[in-house]
Structure 1
Amino acid sequence: MVCFRDLFTLPTVDVSEVGDKAYTLAQLKRWGLPVPPTWVLGPEPWLEIVEALVPTGEWAQRDAIALQQMAQGLGKQLDHYRLDFDRGGFDLPLPLILRCSLSICDAAGQALPLPQDFQGLLAGQICSTQPDVEQLRQLWGQVLRAQNLRVWRHHGLTLNQLQLSLIAHPLVPAAFSGTLLVVGDRAWLEVVAGLGVSLSQGEAVPACCQVEDGHHSWQPGYQDRSLQVDLVSRAVDWQWCPEPTLAMPLTQPQVNQLLQLGRQAQRHIGSGVRLEWLVEEPEGLGFVITQAAAWQTAESGAVATIEMPIAPALPSVQAAIRGIPAATGRGLASALVLKAGTPMPDRLPAGCIVVAEDIQPDLFGRAADVVGIVTEAGSATCHAAILARERGIPAVVGAPHAVSLIATGDPLWLDGDKGIVYIVSEVKTPWRQPSIAAARTTPDAEKLETRTRVMVNLSQASRLADHAGLIDGVGLVRSEWLLLEGLEGRHPQHWIEAGQARDLEAVVVERLRPILAACPDKPVRYRSLDLRSHEWTYLQGSPSREVNPMLGLRGTFSYQQDSRLFETELAALRTLQEEGYEQLELILPFVRTVEEVQACQHQISRAGLPQVDQFCLWIMAEVPSVLFLLPAYAKAGIQGIAIGTNDLTQLLLAVDREQPLLAATYDERHPAVLAALQYLIRQAQAQGMGCSLCGQAPVRFPELIDSLVDWGIDSICVELAAIAATRKAIAAAETKG
């Protein structure tokens, strides 16, 4: 019989018996800090489940597909597993929250420190009734999700090394809650109204306070609803905030009281400590510490240094629109709303935030100096999002009704990290803060050598030289975006029709040459033009938009209808070869049939590209038919495949990646996508072909890198901002392999 026990009446408390969170709360209680009443269910029932359900053997060596299948099977078994559970003869106070309290141990049973990346993997559960077996199963089941199985495997852990306890706290009405980070003699506060779920789930922009040398500096936040507890009905519900702006939620004495608690914890835990807290309602009841942890870096265990972003205070907020985070960074500027049919200026004004139903790549040639971008359409993998990330422009996509709710001239605060656009009271000076991750340099990554090549996807030469030591070449030059700023507002086909093929050839040469020059002796793979009709409507001479441009006249099929544009590209590539850039390779886009490839090969041979020994011809593997035609492509002379996970995923799953409502369904971790990736990589090996991956998958889901390396991928190509992290992940995967 297993049951909850009062944590603070246990004769002894060991981390392996109650988990990290419960152990820390017991310590805080012993040190005299205010903590909530806590009950704990030890790891015994979890270990019983593991012993009964998890197959023996080296499960940690399974690839991503096998892990997905394993997760599904374990989930079904857990649903039917019988467990003898009792609440211990008493009822827990309601409402309450159940949380996972995890510890890990080595083969000898000794407790180990929890890695930083375990934070946030196991969510809590709010209960308005007494906990039952079904609720416990849901909490335990999180450990068995495929996403988390990959994390445990990444750290070399088996499931029986995970000591999973559960803790229960009563939920009390909270006036405010938040976090306190104390590092040395500096401190930072984040505050939201109501329970802290608003903060952890991104439902609010917290008010922030920095404390240094006794001075308090507040930055206002915004919150339109808060999670509140009704002790009479025992209900926990969202309530609208009468005043959404969070100016200075805590008084100076309250800040000082909270800092005193932080310093007290700091004396026991170490120089860096992070607390989660709430102040009970009515506010006179004081603070309660709900969680605490040492603040450390994952790599060295040293206390992290904190650099607070230099940003203007968030002005008074009048409205907020939530979309999908597309490109990180923040910006404050006036809106420029581009409605359908609006005449497009030759260049968008500097210092504005562009708001539109949709933004296609042809607009970026006019948007060099904008502060940010907001669209109603799109997802994190749409072309506008990819290009915004490459150019360092903060962006939010999939923001519903943005064009209707925002008017030109409205002052906006854009948060590309959280996917929120605020209509604020004023803009004194336009301001943009780029992604901290994009700006971070990691020289240690340059020292890592990997068998798997780490290459970059790009369309511009800017910043390439700064990362030369980190990359093994350019895995994908996006030709359409490369040429945009040299097209003078005209569609490439317009140049051809005007008899200016030689002039367009010169544009290709001039735009591509700096990329080749920045990567001497490293392969540069140029993907030829893949012109979808809906992406070029603002360019002069653009063809009429097709009903379904995704599946229309594009890729190598379009070369068969009119070969002049492709021949112009080939002539430009040959010119660059003759200048000495012999590392140049060619990728054919959106290939549907072997016959399309053969037609292109005749033109490539006539252009003279194969005369250079280093020249290689690749195809994009993004149309699902490639899964059945790979041997035929190899027989036709294709030397490598570049897997484009963006299009491959949407075509395999029949999910439009431009549609915000389907964003959650578009997932490269789907078993069908993983099976296709594994098959393509191993089939390419069997055919003696190179194999590269060029989509967003390894950036969106870094845990996939282990499987890609295990399957034998030759190279992984990502955006510049993700190069260092990707190389580190590949090095770790190869070390384990």
Structure 2
Amino acid sequence: MSHYTKAFAALGKEDTAIAGGKGANLGELTRAGLPVPEGFVVTVRAYLDSLESAGLHEEVRAAFDQAMAAASSPELAAACERVRALVHKAGVSQQVREQVERAYRELGADQPVAVRSSATSEDGADTSFAGMNATYTNVIGVQEVLARLTECWASLFGARVVAYRANRGMAEEPAIAVVVQRMVDSERSGVAFTADPSTQDRNRIVVEAAFGLGEVVVSGAVEPDTYVLDKNGPRLLDTRTGRQRFKIVRGPSGHDLRVDLSPEEGAEQVLTEDEAIAVARLAAEAERHYGCPQDVEWAIAEGRTWLVQARPITTLTDGGVLARGLAASPGTATGRVRVLSDPCQGGQFLDGEVLVARMTSPDWVPVMRRAAALVTDGGGMTCHAAIVARELRVPCVVGTREGTTRLRDGDLVTVNGSTGEVLAGRLDRPARTEPRPTAAGWAPESLGTKVYVNLAVPERAEEVAALPVDGVGLLRAEFILTQALGGEHPRQLLAAGGDAEFVARMSEALLRITTAFAPRPVVYRATDFRTNEFRALAGGERFEPVEANPMIGYRGCYRYVREPQLFGLELDALAAVREQTPNLHLMLPFVRTCWELRECLRVVDASPLGAQRGLHRWVMAEVPSAAYWIPEYARLGVDGISIGSNDLTQLVLGVDRDSQLCAELFDESDPAVLDMIERIVRAATEAGMTTSLCGQAPSTRPGFAERLVRMGITSVSVNPDAVGAVRSEIGSAERGLLLRSARER
């Protein structure tokens, strides 16, 4: 070996400066006698001398400084790409190339290897850089090794890495080594933590395991098995079997091959008890050698267990919980904090970060869809942040009160949307959310009560349409409008003569949804922005009044009567879409009085939409007065009533649905709320109208659906991830009613 390549056995933990954190740790493990696959490190000097040989070192240094200066601006990605292009231009110098070829041949001709970045700041006690630099598996042949070597060097200047360095105040020029390690043809693999990162318990070892290569665990592509062991022994305490849809193995060509797993195969337990104990024992040996808790990667092949990486756990704290709030959207995700005060700062936000804000509104959706998780100071279980996060499958904690002050840009946190906690550090590596909704395994039971789905994001239409649902019971217009108009207030667009553009953009978004669900009905709830939300859109301050209590202010049906122009354009868009997909229907929100509904329906009848045959007109029952007015609604030609239990609950109980201070008072199962729902269902049934409920309760409490069935409701509309549970509850309730009816005969 030479100063450009070093065998693992020649390295130790003190060699980070030449071998990077990963390379130094692998050398240390090898020298400690632990089972590590053979390999070598392409040193930091190889990288630096290749830049010097090409005459580009100073240019790379200057370009990196410019990228660091742009770390908090939209120009970051372009600045990083300039640095990466220079590294690719430099390539691998001839001397480095020769020594890498020699070291690779010593491993064996055309030996499959893993090529992994090993930055000098990586895998240290304070900074992990976990998952930020490039890693390649099953690399075969010297030319491919050299190509991947250059890619690893260039990954040193990815946007995430540069932003991380800037947030950590690491201004020195970065350097990188690269590990080249013999591939283990893994049958099973994963990670092990020698302290439980979720509880900070140093007497526990947590092992995550999956079939095939461990990259599926590290990348979060599958839900692994989890084994919790008492370090004293080790002794297995608990096993949780994951769900794995595929595995990555070495294919016939020697390269990575994805192999799909059947539901039965994916549900099999990965490790036996003895194997889990063996992995834990090796991880504990690594901890004893280093003298501190370790995060190790392991692999099993041909009956032997190998350690392929180790790093200190950087996230153990005296107290893991940084903030607490309401568990608004289930799942866990890990990422760097980005605190934003306005959606216009979205250019600063990097994909996969944790968005922390005082509160969100529909104009935040473009940023939210890029976030690993969401944390807000304010809001309740039915606020916009919670609703959209559930639809986007983004873990979310709302109502923390002080998230924006307790969490700082660059902090590595794990958001647990199931418990309402934000914890320090990386507790699930990498970030991942709850499994996506799927129809697999759900019995296509025929139900008397229809199950619709709530939807707001057109990009999810095809995926959600594959679920066993009868259509879309609540299509939220405001989120579609915000996305279609790029966060601009619609009246600002109209003031510039953009009527046709408005209709075209909205029609395009709606067609994606109606086409995916056809011929099943899609019920479009007309825009129900509150004035404070409208003001938050670009140009909104020109058109929106300031209200002390916008929740019960200038919104819904009354607004359409007073400002018919924008509502008219919505109707034009619906009419255009229905010419191609007539399964689209209209629902009017927040109707308080009969006269405003009468005036609003006149606007509908006078529009192109009103002349179309087969249009169903729905009214939201969100205000208690609906229970009184329903017979009159029927006489006006209303076809259906959809109970908006979120607003109805706040108005029956007199509690702001977005208030974190009064969150415990907001209860859709309160007897007064249930009585009001039953009154509305009964009145609508007597008037010959269909009934539905599209509030949050059936999605977060599937048992709520059983109560609705017993009331005689026609349908419910729920979040996509709740479809399976709600169908099950409805089926059970309907069977119970049939049995009871049979006994009474």
Give the shorter-chain TM-score range. 0.5 to 0.7
Letter in 1 for 2:568: E
Cα distance in 2 between the residues matched to 1:211 and 1:560: 58
Task: Pick from 431, 450, 454 the counterpart of residue 457 of structure 1.
Answer: 454
| 1:99-178 equivalent positions in 2, closer than 5 A | none
Q: Structure 1 residues 490, 212: CA separation in 2 closer, same or farther (over 3 Å shift)?
A: closer
Cα distance in 1 between the residues matched to 2:202 and 2:626: 46
Match of 2:44 in 1: none
Match of 2:575 in 1: 574
Deviations 1:172-193 (A, max 9, x none): xxxxxxxxxxxxx99x999999
Q: What's the offset of the Cα at 1:537?
A: 3.9
Letter in 1 for 2:231: T
After superposing on structure 2, the runs of 4+ consecutive aligned residues of structure 1 that deviate more than 6 Å are 188-193, 202-206, 310-314
Contact 2:499 2:569 in 1 (8 A): yes
Cα distance in 2 between the residues matched to 1:617 and 1:212: 52
Contact 2:200 2:316 in 1 (8 A): no
Contact 1:361 1:536 in 2 (8 A): no
Contact 1:371 1:430 in 2 (8 A): no
Q: Structure 1 residues 192, 605: CA separation in 2 closer, same or farther (over 3 Å shift)?
A: same
Contact 1:331 1:371 in 2 (8 A): yes
Cα distance in 2 between the residues matched to 1:208 and 1:533: 52
Q: Structure 1 residues 535, 521: CA separation in 2 closer, same or farther (over 3 Å shift)?
A: same
Match of 1:483 in 2: 481
Secondary structure, counterpart of 2:328 in structure 1: strand
Match of 1:534 in 2: 532
Match of 2:511 in 1: 513
Secondary structure, counterpart of 2:360 in structure 1: coil
Question: Which blocks of at least 5 consecutive residues in structure 1 are unaligned?
Answer: 1-184, 194-198, 218-247, 264-270, 273-302
Please state if 1:650 is matched with 2:655.
Answer: no
| 1:169-248 equivalent positions in 2, closer than 5 A | 209-210=206-207
| 1:203-352 equivalent positions in 2, closer than 5 A | 209-210=206-207, 250-253=230-233, 255-256=234-235, 315-317=315-317, 319=320, 320-339=322-341, 344-346=345-347, 348-352=349-353
Contact 1:445 1:727 in 2 (8 A): no
Q: Structure 1 residues 597, 349: CA separation in 2 closer, same or farther (over 3 Å shift)?
A: same
Match of 2:393 in 1: 392
Contact 2:706 2:733 in 1 (8 A): yes
Q: What's the offset of the Cα at 1:443?
A: 2.9
Moved more, 486-495 or 347-356: 347-356
Question: Which blocks of at least 5 consecutive residues in structure 2 are unaligned?
Answer: 1-187, 215-227, 242-265, 272-294, 298-312, 738-745
Q: What's the offset of the Cα at 1:465?
A: 2.6
Contact 2:356 2:404 in 1 (8 A): yes
Deviations 1:146-178 (A, max 9, x none): xxxxxxxxxxxxxxxxxxxxxxxxxxxxxxxxx
Q: Structure 1 residues 207, 510: CA separation in 2 closer, same or farther (over 3 Å shift)?
A: farther
Q: What's the offset of the Cα at 1:711?
A: 1.6
Deviations 1:43-62 (A, max 9, x none): xxxxxxxxxxxxxxxxxxxx
Cα distance in 2 between the residues matched to 1:358 and 1:456: 25
Q: What's the offset of the Cα at 1:705?
A: 1.8
Secondary structure, counterpart of 1:354 in structure 2: strand
Match of 1:710 in 2: 710
Match of 2:635 in 1: 635
Q: What's the offset of the Cα at 1:468?
A: 3.0
Cα distance in 2 between the residues matched to 1:206 and 1:356: 36
Deviations 1:521-550 (A, max 9, x none): 211111111121222444211124421110
Q: Structure 1 residues 574, 669: CA separation in 2 closer, same or farther (over 3 Å shift)?
A: same
Contact 1:363 1:538 in 2 (8 A): no
Q: Structure 1 residues 212, 717: CA separation in 2 closer, same or farther (over 3 Å shift)?
A: closer
Match of 2:357 in 1: 356
Secondary structure, counterpart of 2:394 in structure 1: coil
Contact 1:375 1:402 in 2 (8 A): yes
Cα distance in 2 between the residues matched to 1:206 and 1:691: 55
Q: What's the offset of the Cα at 1:498?
A: 2.2
Match of 1:595 in 2: 595
Deviations 1:562-614 (A, max 9, x none): 110000001111111222x1121100010111111111111111113243332
Cα distance in 1 between the residues matched to 2:373 and 2:363: 16
Match of 2:440 in 1: 443
Cα distance in 1 between the residues matched to 2:375 and 2:582: 41
Cα distance in 2 between the residues matched to 1:346 and 1:501: 28
Moved more, 686-695 or 463-472: 463-472
Deviations 1:67-94 (A, max 9, x none): xxxxxxxxxxxxxxxxxxxxxxxxxxxx
Calculate the aligned-residue CA RMSD, in Å. Answer: 3.8
Match of 2:498 in 1: 500
Moved more, 524-533 or 697-706: 697-706
Cα distance in 2 between the residues matched to 1:204 and 1:722: 33
Match of 2:410 in 1: 409
Match of 1:548 in 2: 549
Cα distance in 2 between the residues matched to 1:646 and 1:359: 17
Letter in 1 for 2:628: F
Match of 1:370 in 2: 371
Deviations 1:450-478 (A, max 9, x none): 11111011012334333435010110110
Match of 2:609 in 1: 609
TM-score, with structure 1 as normaliser: 0.58
Cα distance in 2 between the residues matched to 1:386 and 1:205: 37
Cα distance in 2 between the residues matched to 1:667 and 1:360: 22
Contact 2:575 2:612 in 1 (8 A): no
Contact 2:438 2:467 in 1 (8 A): no
Secondary structure, counterpart of 2:600 in structure 1: helix
Match of 2:110 in 1: none
Q: Structure 1 residues 207, 314: CA separation in 2 closer, same or farther (over 3 Å shift)?
A: farther
Q: What's the offset of the Cα at 1:208?
A: 5.4
Q: What's the offset of the Cα at 1:555?
A: 0.4
Q: Structure 1 residues 498, 357: CA separation in 2 closer, same or farther (over 3 Å shift)?
A: same
Letter in 2 for 1:368: R
Letter in 1 for 2:498: Q
Contact 2:343 2:367 in 1 (8 A): no
Q: Structure 1 residues 189, 683: CA separation in 2 closer, same or farther (over 3 Å shift)?
A: farther
Letter in 2 for 1:474: V
In percent, how many aligned pairs have the same letter? 33
Contact 1:504 1:568 in 2 (8 A): yes
Contact 1:624 1:648 in 2 (8 A): yes
Match of 1:51 in 2: none
Cα distance in 2 between the residues matched to 1:191 and 1:652: 51
TM-score, with structure 2 as normaliser: 0.58
Cα distance in 2 between the residues matched to 1:460 and 1:547: 30
Contact 2:205 2:231 in 1 (8 A): no
Q: What's the offset of the Cα at 1:325?
A: 1.1
Cα distance in 1 between the residues matched to 2:510 and 2:208: 50
Q: Structure 1 residues 491, 431: CA separation in 2 closer, same or farther (over 3 Å shift)?
A: farther
Secondary structure, counterpart of 2:345 in structure 1: coil
Q: What's the offset of the Cα at 1:628?
A: 1.1
Cα distance in 2 between the residues matched to 1:445 and 1:672: 34
Contact 1:528 1:587 in 2 (8 A): yes
Q: What's the offset of the Cα at 1:503?
A: 0.9
Q: Structure 1 residues 375, 720: CA separation in 2 closer, same or farther (over 3 Å shift)?
A: same
Contact 1:621 1:644 in 2 (8 A): yes
Cα distance in 2 between the residues matched to 1:462 and 1:307: 34
Q: Structure 1 residues 397, 688: CA separation in 2 closer, same or farther (over 3 Å shift)?
A: same
Deviations 1:677-720 (A, max 9, x none): 11111111100011111001112222222221122111110011
Contact 1:314 1:413 in 2 (8 A): no
Aligned length: 469
Q: Structure 1 residues 203, 528: CA separation in 2 closer, same or farther (over 3 Å shift)?
A: farther
Moved more, 645-654 or 706-715: 706-715
